[in-house]
Amino acid sequence: MPSFSLDRRQALMLMSSTALLPLVRPAFAQENAPIRLIILSDLHSAYEVSAQLLAAVAAEVEASQGPVAILINGDVFELGNVVAVRSGGAIDWALLEALGRLAPTVLNIGNHEPDLDNDLADFISKAEQRGVTVISNILDSRTGDGYAPAALSLTLGGMPISIVGLGTAAINTYPAATREMIEVPDPVQWAGEHLINLLDPSGARVVLSHAGITADRDMLPLLPAGTLLVGGHDHVVLDHSEGATRYLHTGSWSSLITVVDIDASGPLAVERRPIAATGQADADLAALIASTMEEHLTAEERAVIGNSQAAQSLADSARFVAATLASAAGADIGFIGHTTFGTGFPEGEVTRYAFDSIVRFDGTLKTAEISRETLEEILGRVNQDGDIPLAQRTGDFLYGAPTDLPEKDTYLVAANDWSATNQKNYFGREDLVFVDVPDLRVKSVVIDAL
């Protein structure tokens, strides 16, 4: 296992936008070997696989013939996980500390880092105490200063590497109490003004962006050739190349890690490693998860609230929910957003705690009457869980079901309130007139259908 002489627990100085973090190359690393980056994103307190995730990362570090760094592109915590909230994120903090012991670990702030403590300054302090280096371009509105350096320069195996971190400007996705404490620059404008000075052309170059696909797509032309752009926030799996530049998303809910070998010319190889609950688990973290669950889960949360006839992927689960919303509202088709879901339904019994990790957010139902032409336009941008070209992606997207509909002049569509209220982002338009459906809420409707 590699060991590093640097004490990474020291806080980075905020005297400039770039922190310098020199690292010693492991003695056994092959000379001139590329840097291996182990990339995680949007973990969201997915405790059902956290111990398996840690074991998989440890195995990658152990197997690497060259220097290794671990990159986390935001959203470690999940406010909807009652165990995370009641324990103060004890499992998540233990995971971060364990990762920090394995290899240099860098985290770019996402919109869920302040879920458990709304002041980002507290999160950064705790993370760095556990050996994790935090980067972000988010500003503290109380001081006008950055919460952390926006960029990091380090040396691995004799090769310099620059890592830059950007947050999402979608302010309403941060906890309400956090919003008044932060200023998030427009990511594309910020990238155009700063990246050229923050990415060292003599070494490997990485941008960790939690801004989302639509911003990242506009950012791509601004990147020096050979840069690795790592996206997050939208919970998708994506691999897109433009010349020597590579753009990746590595999913969510601790279901996947992406391993990238990179040198000064750019990314050389990219491999995905799925994480399954049946995989090898880190024993210490698994024991902590079990004891923390035992301490904090109530009988109500352990109770079985329904049954799933078969295991379903996240996408199939979401389409089931969309169709369920349509049926409950008496509509022809239902719509609900992709990131409303953490994971898919298991086969068999579903507890309340498990259900809340599948359907993350509750809300009311709304309906709208639309023309056949409008429906066809909407259907052209939904169900983006397949191999969708980057140019056609919208970031977070809608699942719609059922889609095998009879031909009519008008259709009644149902949606959860978040998608309807933010219809420009999800439906791609602002002319839909939604009305409330009384006495129906997303979670209760779905539970009744199980």
pLDDT tens, position by position, 127-166: 999 999 999 999 999 999 999 999 999 999 899 999 999 9
Residues of the chain with CATH 3.90.780.10: 301-449
**Contact call for residues 165 and 124 (beta carbons, < 8 A):** no
pLDDT higher than threshold 70 for residue 5: no
pLDDT higher than threshold 80 for residue 46: yes
pLDDT higher than threshold 90 for residue 418: yes
Q: How far is CA 370 from CA 16, 256, 329, 355, 416, in A?
A: 53, 38, 15, 32, 16
> What is the total residue count of the chain?
450
Instruction: Quickly count: other Cβ atoms within 10 Å of residue 146's Cβ.
Output: 17
Superfamily classification of domain 301-449: 5'-Nucleotidase, C-terminal domain (3.90.780.10)
Give the model's pLDDT for residue 11.
30
Mean pLDDT of 31-40: 86
Superfamily classification of domain 18-274: Metallo-dependent phosphatases (3.60.21.10)
Residue 450, token pair as written in the block: 């199980």
Q: Range with the lowest mean pLDDT among 28-37, 216-225, 335-344? A: 28-37
Residues of the chain with CATH 3.60.21.10: 18-274
pLDDT higher than threshold 50 for residue 362: yes
**pLDDT tens digit string along 272-331?**
999 999 999 999 999 999 999 999 999 999 999 999 999 999 999 999 999 999 999 999
Cα angle vertex 445, ends 440, 450, to 5°? Answer: 170
Give the model's pLDDT for residue 30.
53
What's the order of all strands across the beta sheet hosting 398-401? 398-401, 333-337, 410-416, 364-371, 435-441
